[in-house]
């Protein structure tokens, strides 16, 4: 009985697998995630140049999924003016995509520290609900189709140290307000190539000390 108990301790949690398969569905079945279809695979030990899952104590702590190669990034579509906040055939996920649902799914990975969803055709305004991913230390959502502005709720993610939003269609005027130099800096954020900024610790009233 003791052997069985110890063996179970080192098994990838089924709930974590269900979350990853739900994520695959929400991202509309990118081919690089076909490596998750083999039911005999332990997701913690299955990786490729485009997909990697790292686990701690049988729970997902790092998740990396990379779509099209960086030299074919969607910035070409954004810069060409083809993207107008609606899905673009063969470039973005379909109109059925919901970033709120995606965040809700990711929030079930309660030990997640590192998240990279790069160049996957994700299109949406980046919502305030991003703060639900409050265990994250690093987040990379670069080279997708995120737009509007950077949500101030990033500053409420107390563990967050670094954010990469490069290659999206975010309003850069927000950067001067949210990401300016401040003694309460708790991390760094990158919005455009060569333009680093900062994540500010929220003031006691919940509003950043600089506006």
Q: Does the pLDDT value for residue 94 go beyond 50?
A: yes
Does residue 210 or residue 196 have the better pLDDT? 196
Question: 170 with 150: CB under 8 angstroms?
Answer: yes
pTM for the model stands at 0.74
- The average confidence (pLDDT) of the chain is 74
Cα 35 to Cα 2, 42, 43, 49, 181, distances in angstroms: 33, 10, 9, 12, 43
Q: Is 127:104 a contact under the CB 8 Å cutoff?
A: no
Q: CA quadruple 166, 168, 169, 175: dihedral positive or negative?
A: negative
pLDDT band at 178 (very low <50, low <70, confident <90, very high): very low
Pairing of strands 51-56, 59-66: antiparallel
| CATH fold group of domain 2-200 | 3.80.10
Domain-wise residue ranges, the chain: 2-200
Tens digit of each residue's pLDDT (9 = 90 or more) over 1-22:
444 444 344 566 788 999 999 9
Contact predicate 184/160, CB 8 Å: no
Q: What are phi and psi of 74, to 5 degrees?
A: -70, -5
**Residue 43: half-sphere exposure toward Cβ, Cα within 13 Å:** 28
Dihedral pair phi/psi, residue 174, rounded to 5° = -65, -30
Q: Could you tell me where the beta strands, DSSP code E, fall in 32-109? A: 51-56, 59-66
pLDDT of 205 > 70? The answer is no
User: pLDDT tens, 31-45?
Assistant: 999 999 887 778 888
Q: Phi/psi class of residue 19: alpha, beta or left (left: φ > 0; alpha: ψ in -120 to 50)?
A: alpha
C-alpha distances out from residue 173 to 70, 160, 169, Å: 26, 22, 12
């Amino acid at each position: 009985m003791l052997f069985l108990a110890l063996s179970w301790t080192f098994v990838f949690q089924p709930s974590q697998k269900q979350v990853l398969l739900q994520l695959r569905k929400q991202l509309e079945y990118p081919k690089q995630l076909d490596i998750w279809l083999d039911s005999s695979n332990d997701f913690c030990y299955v990786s490729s140049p485009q997909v990697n899952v790292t686990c701690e104590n049988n729970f997902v702590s790092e998740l990396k999924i990379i779509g099209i190669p960086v030299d074919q990034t969607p910035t070409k579509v954004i810069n060409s003016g083809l993207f107008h906040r609606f899905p673009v055939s063969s470039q973005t996920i379909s109109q059925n995509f919901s970033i709120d649902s995606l965040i809700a799914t990711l929030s079930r990975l309660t030990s997640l520290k590192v998240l990279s969803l790069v160049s996957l055709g994700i299109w949406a305004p980046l919502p305030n609900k991003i703060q639900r991913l409050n265990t994250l230390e690093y987040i990379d959502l670069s080279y997708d189709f995120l737009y509007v502005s950077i949500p101030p709720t990033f500053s409420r993610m107390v563990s967050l140290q670094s954010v990469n939003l490069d290659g999206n269609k975010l309003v850069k005027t927000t950067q001067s307000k949210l990401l300016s130099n401040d003694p309460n800096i708790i991390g760094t954020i990158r919005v455009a190539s060569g333009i680093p900024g900062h994540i500010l610790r929220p003031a006691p009233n919940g509003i950043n000390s600089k506006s």
